[in-house]
Amino acid sequence: MTGALEFAALVIQLAGMAARVGGDVIDILDWGKARVETMRSEGRDPTAEEWDEINGKIDAARARLHDDA
Amino acid sequence: MTDEKPWYGSRTILANAIGGITALLAIFGLDLSPEAQTQVATLVMLLTNLVNIGLRFVTTKPIKRDKGGTVNSHWIVVALLVLLAACDSRIAPVTTTTTDGTPQQVIFAAHADYLALLTAANAYVSLPRCADDATLSDRACSRPRVVKIIRAADNDAFIVLRSAQDVARDEAPDKGTVQRWADRARSAIGVLRAILTNHNLIEGAAS
């Protein structure tokens, strides 16, 4: 029975994680789309601040990806 | 012996039930492809059978029954349907890289898509490691070989994107040069996307 409970806990954990990550990815895509739409509507290219913002997010995500701790 | 089967033994009913549940989940941003729905239906049938076998070993007293089977079985199936539908929700297609706008805007959009791909990759890499030949689901653990492939693809994509960004941020970039780098940026994340798709970590879709 313990095995079944552990399995159920794993399924719930994975379900929660999938939902959370799916939401995060969609948020990022929406954020990127909104930024590019704004640039288009204002007829300009990305500003230094916008580049710095996305670089910061990418650096943080890459640090996690390559972290073996 | 009878040919009758409980409702959860029907792949058609399960597929339709999952279709309904995933439509509901889609409202909250969780999308499942028709192919994934079929996989979930099959998985639910398999797991239900396994759970029922397990219950046969631990049950010592009879429980209230209806026409289809035990009351417990119904609830187990419903719970599995909901949980597995959410669990198997591969990350929605990360395919919004735009080809419209200036090359600088295209390069920025490629960075945003890259960030989304990194987020999906992180979800997999952060899982506990298992052996490369493990039979567990890709969603239960991460294989060292796959992690290595993802990290290598990320390194390659990152180098190209940063070079593209350097060109895009140039005060007076050559038009042809920045366009070429915009194309390279899109190709670079295309490789990373293909790797994640091939390992079933995100949904495949035309870019």
pLDDT in tens, B1-40: 455 666 666 666 666 676 666 666 655 555 555 556 566 6
Nearest chain B CA: its distance from A6 CA (Å):
13
Task: Place A58 in a pLDDT band, splitting at 50, 70 and 90.
Answer: very high
Greater model confidence, B159 or B205 = B159
pLDDT of residue B117: 94
Partners of residue B109 in chain A, C-beta under 8 Å: 32-33, 36
Give the 3-state secondary structure of residue B23: helix
Among A37-46, B1-10, B65-74, B177-186, the range scoring the smallest mean pLDDT is B65-74
Q: Of the candidates B91, B105, B123, which has its C-beta nearest A45's C-beta?
A: B105
pTM of the model: 0.63
* Tokens representing residue B38 in the block: 């079929």
B140: closest chain A residue by CA: A14
Q: Of the candidates B30, B100, B169, which has its C-beta nearest A19's C-beta?
A: B30
Cβ atoms B182, B107 nearer than 8 A: yes
Partners of residue A17 in chain B, C-beta under 8 Å: 123
Asked if B87's CB is within 8 angstroms of A11's CB, the reply is yes
For residue B207, pLDDT over 50 is answered with no
3-state SS string for A7-42: HHHHHHHHHHHHHHHHHHHHHHHHHHHHHHHHHHHH
Asked if A33's CB is within 8 angstroms of B108's CB, the reply is no
Asked if the interface predicted TM-score (ipTM) of this complex is over 0.95, the answer is no
For residue B200, count CB atoms less than 10 angstroms from its CB and return exposed for 0-12, middle for 13-18, buried for 19 or more.
middle
Asked if B108's CB is within 8 angstroms of A35's CB, the reply is yes
For residue A65, count CB atoms less than 10 angstroms from its CB and return exposed for 0-12, middle for 13-18, buried for 19 or more.
buried
Asked if B89's CB is within 8 angstroms of A18's CB, the reply is yes
Give the 3-state secondary structure of residue B205: coil
- Amino acid letter for position B194: A
Q: Of the candidates B104, B111, B119, which has its C-beta nearest A45's C-beta?
A: B104
Size of interface A-B (CB pairs under 8 A): 132
Greater model confidence, B47 or B27 = B47
* Tokens representing residue A25 in the block: 């990815």
What is the spatial distance between Cα B134 and Cα B146, in angstroms, rounded to a whole number? 12
Among B9-23, B34-48, B84-98, the range scoring the smallest mean pLDDT is B84-98
Greater model confidence, A26 or B149 = B149
Q: How far is CA A50 from the centre of its chain?
A: 17
For residue B154, pLDDT over 90 is answered with yes
A12: closest chain B residue by CA: B83
Please provide the size of chain B in residues: 207
Cβ atoms B63, B71 nearer than 8 A: yes
